[in-house]
Amino acid sequence: MKTSNYAAAGKNPAAISISVTAPAWFRGPTYPALVPPPKLVRAYKAGEITEVEYVTRYDMERLSLLDPGRVVDDLLELAAPYAPVLLCWCGRREFCHRHVVRAWLRAAGIECEEVEPGR
């Protein structure tokens, strides 16, 4: 399992969107269960909540409701025969929900890394 952004890995055949929107050219599937609530994204972008508040609410409103094993099974099915690459818009070093997802998967014992630039 990998994470990245559309610019770096959007053409990857195993790319799966986990963002509220995707580029018009993106043709891969979306996994709605990991998409953050649009209201939460707007509040963060407007400076109404901090990164810590965002993580707490994203966990409460999405991740805590999910079974990591089931999520992985679903993602593997969507990306078959490849290893899934979860995508959003944010840059590699920006605060982003995909990093929260990666940490959540790792905490469940699931290997998940950010795609290295140029790969």
Which letter does DSSP use for residue 17 in this model?
E
pLDDT digits (tens, 9 = 90+) for 4-21: 999 999 999 999 999 999
Q: Is residue 119 part of a domain?
A: no
Q: Is residue 53 part of a domain?
A: yes
How many Cα atoms within 13 Å fall on the side-chain side of residue 108? 18
Query: Who's near 82: CB < 8 A, 6+ residues apart?
Result: 12, 13, 14
Q: Is residue 11 part of a domain?
A: yes
- Domain of 9 in residue numbering reads as 2-114
**pLDDT for the residue 118:** 57
Q: Answer for the pair 12, 81: CB distance below 8 angstroms, yes or no.
A: no
Q: Which residue is it, tokens 């959003």?
A: 88
Measure the CA–CA gap between 23 and 119, rounded to whole angstroms: 20
Instruction: Pick out the chain residues at pLDDT < 50.
Output: none
What's the total number of domains in the chain?
1
**pLDDT for the residue 93:** 86
Q: Is residue 65 part of a domain?
A: yes
